[in-house]
Structure 1
Amino acid sequence: MSLLGTPARRTASARAGTAAGGADAGALRFEGVGRTFGDGAGARDVLRAIDLELAAGEVVALLGPSGCGKSTLLRAAGGLDTPTTGRALIGGSAVRQHDERCAVAFQEPRLLPWRTLRANVALGLPTGTERRAGAGRVDELLELVGLADHADLRPREVSGGMAQRTSLARALARRPGVLLLDEPFGALDALTRMKMQDLLLAVHAGSPTTVLLVTHDVDEALQLADRVVVLGRSGDDPAATVTELVPVPGARPRDRGSVELAQLRGRLLESLGVDAHRR
């Protein structure tokens, strides 16, 4: 299923960031990406012929059943895994191994327990960053995620939500052109998760970047994304491909009680094989 072609509009936050002198967001493109693990009789096909493009500054959510290759595709975007076929590109050039144009935040904060929150965020700075400039960037990010008053605490002294905010700040420290988020709020309680979603929108407005978000939460995808991409298997093919691409209407932040979003939620749940009307 070919879904190439840059969306007509670029997000307002990306335009604002460029005007303010922020780092340029990078367009992300997958061309015929496939991934097979193992070889011979034990080979396992996970992804097949993924053609997809994210416009600079766009937020795209990946939905799909567990094990369908969402995280594998995200890892290919950051150079953390190499596709068996096809390629990923940022700004028109091929993704490199551990590509420095990308930053990743995972479901677990993965903070160093013996370092302060400030020092953990500083780990994300590009190699060779001048000391004063680096300290200023870290302070800016801690302020952005609401942790300026907790910067000298260690991970064991803060809540899970605060640790996840620190992880997000660390990912943004290098001013990435592409931000890759792998279930970043999945381990949080429902209320904290909604607060983190709101924070991500604020961060995206203040530090625009292209975002690829892996999530199992349909409501989260509808709150955050410009488009939702559904990965799934077709027929007897064991490998997943793009089965649906859905634009999300309305400017962010969106009304969580919107009837239009509720209808779209039902459509996406059905695409995922869930009966949206079952009580």
Structure 2
Amino acid sequence: MSLLGTPPRRTAAVRPGTAPSDAASGSLRFEQVGRTFGTGPGAREVLRAVDLDLEAGEVVALLGPSGCGKSTLLRAAGGLDLPTSGRVLIGGSPVRPHDERCAVAFQEPRLLPWRTLRANVALGLPSGTDRRAGAAQVDELLERVGLADHAELRPREVSGGMAQRTSLARALARRPGVLLLDEPFGALDALTRMKMQDLLLAVHAGSPTTVLLVTHDVDEALQLADRVVVLGRSGDDPAATVTELVTVPGARPRDRGSVELAALRSRLLESLGVDAHRH
């Protein structure tokens, strides 16, 4: 495994008048995490001995071929699945089932079609939130993701990008210490995807939560992440583990045409078994 550099110091500025999440950004740690599905001769080992540390407020992108266990690892971080071996910790304490310290946004917005965008975002508020304070928080989030003028529309009345922005706002309504993103922009067209990436960076600058992002897009990983992790297998071994861990140079937002990033892009593509000269 190639380990380049240590987690960078947090440099993202917090905008005046905004505060980090109420649930203080938590460090995220995977200790020898393994996951096997099934038992006996038909058991299928997907992950083995995954060790990974995310600093509080860090953005880490997770790359790897389809079926290598990226989403499985992300689900373990949120308590949506339990590892077969090892453990996951947030802020030094073990992850609980459906851990309230985490929020998840998926590739599909998963909005309730009969509710307005405002009402969908409000679903993310923690249980027991004061009604007036919750309404103010929802309004703030809708403003932050550029949907204040569309709050009373329903999902069928908005574009895919607007639906995905609603999903992101709903996840942030929980004010999570850890934000888990499972290919959240994968279904969007290229231009909308870039706009969503910029939006995520702006939101993170205002509320620097810890982010674990699953993506198939190397360029997206290089634009958004402080570090990029590659999950991979060795030979015919069915179980994946961390095979590459690199620190991305330069402060965000980054120059998409950077020569330095182009070189790192080639290296990551090769780590994924892709001919970099053909992409």
TM (norm. structure 2) is 0.95
In structure 2, what is the equivalent of residue 273 of structure 1? 273
- Deviation by residue 1:109-153 (Cα, 9 ceiling, x = unmatched): 000000000000000000010000000000000000000000000
Task: Kindly tell me the number of residue pairs found equivalent between the two proteins.
Answer: 276
| Shift, 1:107, TM fit | 0.1
Contact kept? 2:183, 2:215, Cα under 8 Å: yes
CA distance in 1, matches of 2:6, 2:25: 14
| Shift, 1:62, TM fit | 0.3
CA distance in 2, matches of 1:79, 1:52: 16
**Matched residue of 1:66: which SS?**
coil
Alignment of 1:93-112 (within 5 A): 93-112=93-112
Q: Does residue 22 of the first structure (1) align with residue 8 of the second (2)?
A: no
- Deviation by residue 1:135-193 (Cα, 9 ceiling, x = unmatched): 00000000000000000000000000000000000000010000000000000000100
In structure 2, what is the equivalent of residue 143 of structure 1? 143
Tell me the amino acid that sits aligned with residue 154 of structure 2. R
In structure 1, what is the equivalent of residue 118 of structure 2? 118
**Closer, same or farther in 2 for the Cα pair 1:98/1:73, shift >3 Å?**
same
Tell me the amino acid that sits aligned with residue 215 of structure 2. T
Tell me the amino acid that sits aligned with residue 220 of structure 1. E
CA distance in 2, matches of 1:79, 1:169: 21
| Shift, 1:208, TM fit | 1.4
In structure 1, what is the equivalent of residue 188 of structure 2? 188
In structure 1, what is the equivalent of residue 202 of structure 2? 202
**Closer, same or farther in 2 for the Cα pair 1:198/1:180, shift >3 Å?**
same
Contact kept? 1:6, 1:53, Cα under 8 Å: no
**Closer, same or farther in 2 for the Cα pair 1:11/1:204, shift >3 Å?**
same
**Matched residue of 2:276: which SS?**
coil
Contact kept? 1:2, 1:50, Cα under 8 Å: no
CA distance in 2, matches of 1:19, 1:10: 19
**Matched residue of 1:277: which SS?**
helix
In structure 2, what is the equivalent of residue 68 of structure 1? 68
In structure 2, what is the equivalent of residue 82 of structure 1? 82
Unpaired segments ≥5 residues, structure 1: none
**Matched residue of 2:243: which SS?**
strand
Tell me the amino acid that sits aligned with residue 185 of structure 1. F
**Matched residue of 2:87: which SS?**
strand
| Shift, 1:98, TM fit | 0.1
Contact kept? 2:122, 2:134, Cα under 8 Å: yes
Q: Which has the higher contact order (CA 8 A, sep 6+)?
A: 2
| Shift, 1:9, TM fit | 1.5
In structure 2, what is the equivalent of residue 36 of structure 1? 36
In structure 1, what is the equivalent of residue 241 of structure 2? 241
CA distance in 2, matches of 1:220, 1:251: 15
Cα RMSD over matched residues?
1.7
- Deviation by residue 1:11-51 (Cα, 9 ceiling, x = unmatched): 434xx379954222110000000000000000000000000
CA distance in 2, matches of 1:245, 1:159: 36
CA distance in 1, matches of 2:63, 2:219: 11
Tell me the amino acid that sits aligned with residue 207 of structure 1. S
**Closer, same or farther in 2 for the Cα pair 1:235/1:174, shift >3 Å?**
same
Tell me the amino acid that sits aligned with residue 186 of structure 1. G
CA distance in 1, matches of 2:110, 2:63: 23
CA distance in 1, matches of 2:194, 2:80: 29
Q: Does residue 231 of the first structure (1) align with residue 231 of the second (2)?
A: yes
CA distance in 2, matches of 1:190, 1:12: 25
Contact kept? 1:11, 1:58, Cα under 8 Å: no
TM (norm. structure 1) is 0.95
**Matched residue of 1:216: which SS?**
coil
Contact kept? 1:78, 1:95, Cα under 8 Å: yes
